Amino acid sequence: MSIEEILSGESKCMEFKEMLPEKSSKYMKTVVAFANGHGGKLIFRIRDDNHEVVGIDDDSIFKTMDSITNAISDSCEPVIIPDVTLQTIDGKTIIVVEISAGKQRPYYIKSLGMEKGIYVRTAGTTRPADNYMIKELMFEGANRCFDQTPCIGYTVSKADFKNLCSSLRKTAIENCKTDAEKAEVKKVTTNTLLSWGVLAEQNGELIPTNAFALLSGNPILQTKIQCGVFKGTTRAVFVDRREFAGSIQNQIEKAYKYVLEKINLGAKINGLYRQDEYELPIGSVREIIANAVTHRSYLEPGNVQVALYDDRLEVTSPGMLLTGVTIEKIREGYSKVRNRAIANAFVYMKIIEQWGSGIPRIFEEFKEYGLKEPELIDLDGDFRVNLYRIVLNTIQNATQSTTQNATQSTTQTIQNTIPNMKLTYFDETVIKTIMENPIITQSEIALELGWAVNRVKYYIKKLKDKGILKHKGNNRRGIWEVHLKNEQIKK
């Protein structure tokens, strides 16, 4: 552990203690919270207010280390084995106690019992775990999923089994892109539902699980997607709001269509045809909403929220990240499924692809669109993804700035014209069209001027070679710059 990391201050995974408390319970809560979370480090003999290194006397170092190790081992259940090491900063020795993320959750303080002794970390502080968090930890520790457990108080008939099977297959076919794909969609049977965990077997009978209720839209498990449009970049002013209930697969479709209604729709010219194009890659929009529903915690009382601001689309799903899952790993395609039955059903219905493949693809799509990179945020209890839009004011300002700069440059160069470097009428036509709309595409220039696309490309290349035109971004999402250092547009 580097000195810079230590001196950067306390965080979600690091806490300072100036002294070793006489009562170990004063730091045991943090030990338990680290084990129930993503792990962390307790550092003794550093002040938490100003990060001053106090250090420990050489005579008491090993006695203190043994005391910490024994206290942790004796006070926690299941047993937590800390990694206790020494580190020197400016000639002073500190004790670093590292607690790994535990696999036998939930961990608790023995003297308080399981009911009151379970703690978690939230926003850099230690607090008692809520009831739903305790249940989440218990499921994870037992390697079980809430969606695969029997749904209490929910009874269904064979007709209900059949209806769900038919509904899932219908959705799968609707989501196919080709007739060949549709022909390959297999029928869903009760055995299929059993293998996924949508049904469970108990005393020789098939019974519905929580996944069955969610996929059927039964209100016994109340879950919704809340959608809203806000003015500006905060939640201060609502413009529009909507809630979608019913089966979770239908919620995804309705929320997705809601977003498409609210974001900007433009057009590009593909050959002779006009092709509609949204400001955000719509495949990524659908994927993010589907992921939120797939991986959320259904033990937590909150709902998936889809919020549209002037600068971003924000999707928030309830539930802390599972053990071993980090933002860095998610970006690389790592996935640990919280709801296996739902994920199995969604893969079949082509709502999501194979686990973990979606996020890297979303980053790639945003790069191709020339948009700001998506943001993944761990909110210590919720998970959020921000998909950034092109801010309209920014485009307008960029357009005005480019136009003004080009006009000033043109005026200046008329006074400093270099002979034999004149622009033709067609050169000027292309430049003026771009100056009026710096985010225009080559296909759109062709449509506006009534030219063939190849003709536009010829003049664009010519002006690029002369250093007059530069293009930032990709072909679909970029902006033109006009540089008229030694050229003249005739009046």
pLDDT in tens, 343-378: 999 999 999 986 666 899 999 999 988 899 999 999
Q: Which pLDDT does position 126 carry in this prediction?
A: 93
Q: What does the pLDDT look like over 196-223, one tens digit per residue?
A: 999 999 999 999 999 999 999 999 998 9
Residue 437 reports pLDDT greater than 90: no
Task: Report whether 155 contacts 308 (CB < 8 A).
Answer: no
- Between 104 and 449, whose confidence is greater? 104
Tell me the DSSP string of 230-265. ESTTSSSSEEEEEEE-SSHHHHHHHHHHHHHHHS-E
Q: At what angle do helices 340-348 and 248-262 cross, to 10 degrees?
A: 60
Residue range(s) defining the domain that contains residue 111: 3-142
Question: What integer pLDDT is reported at residue 410 of this predicted model?
Answer: 39
Residue 444 has a pLDDT of 83
> Is residue 76, in this structure, part of any structural domain at all?
yes
**Which tokens sit at 265?**
């729709």
Q: Give pLDDT, residue 408.
A: 47
CA 107, chain centre distance (Å): 28
What SS3 state is found at 60?
Answer: helix
In a domain, 111, yes or no: yes
Domain boundary among 142, 170, 200: 142
Q: What's the rounded Cα separation, in Å, for the pair 383 and 126?
A: 19
Domain boundary among 94, 112, 142: 142
Q: Is residue 49 part of a domain?
A: yes
**For all residues of the chain together, what is the average pLDDT?**
87
* pLDDT bracket for residue 453 (50, 70, 90): confident
Q: What does the buried/exposed string (b/e) look like for 56-73 if buried means 16 or more CB atoms within 10 Å of the residue's CB?
A: beeeeeeebbeebeebbe
* Biggest CA pair distance of the chain: 95
Task: Tell me whether residue 69 is in a domain.
Answer: yes
Percent of the chain whose predicted confidence (pLDDT) is above 90: 62
| Res 467: pLDDT | 86
CA distance 447 to 449: 6
Q: Label residue 295 by pLDDT band (50, 70, 90).
A: very high
The H or E element spanning position 134 is helix 131-141
Among 33, 84, 39, 78, CA closest to 61? 84
List the beta strands (DSSP E) in 40-129.
Answer: 40-44, 76-77, 83-89, 92-99, 108-109, 119-122, 125-128
pLDDT digits (tens, 9 = 90+) for 41-93: 999 999 888 888 999 988 889 999 999 999 999 999 999 999 999 999 888 99
Query: Residue 67 domain-assigned?
Result: yes
- Tell which wins on pLDDT, 476 or 128: 128
Average pLDDT value for residue range 113-135: 91
In a domain, 438, yes or no: yes
Report d(CA 391, CA 371) in Å as an integer.
Answer: 10
Which CATH number is 123's domain given? 3.30.950.30
Other Cβ atoms less than 10 A from the Cβ of 256: the count is: 21
> Into how many domains does the chain fold?
2
Tell me which DSSP letter residue 373 carries: P
Strands (E), 150-217: 199-202, 205-208
H or E element, residue 293:
helix 282-295
pLDDT of residue 370: 86
End-to-end CA distance of the chain: 67
Name the domain boundary from 142, 177, 208: 142
Q: What are phi and psi of 379, to 5 degrees?
A: -100, 20
Contact (CB, 8 A) for 258 and 289: no
Percent over 70 (pLDDT), the chain: 87
* R_g over Cα of the chain: 30
Residue 30 has pLDDT above 90, yes or no: yes
Q: Please say whether the beta carbons of 120 and 133 come within 8 A.
A: yes
Task: Answer yes or no: is 280 within a domain.
Answer: no
Query: Which CATH number does the domain housing residue 422 bear?
Result: 1.10.10.10
- Residue 399 tokens, joined: 């357009």
Q: For 100-213, where are the E strands, in sequence order?
A: 108-109, 119-122, 125-128, 199-202, 205-208
Lowest mean pLDDT among 54-58, 136-140, 316-320: 54-58
Residue 411 has pLDDT above 70, yes or no: no
Measured distance CA(189)–CA(197) in Å, rounded: 13
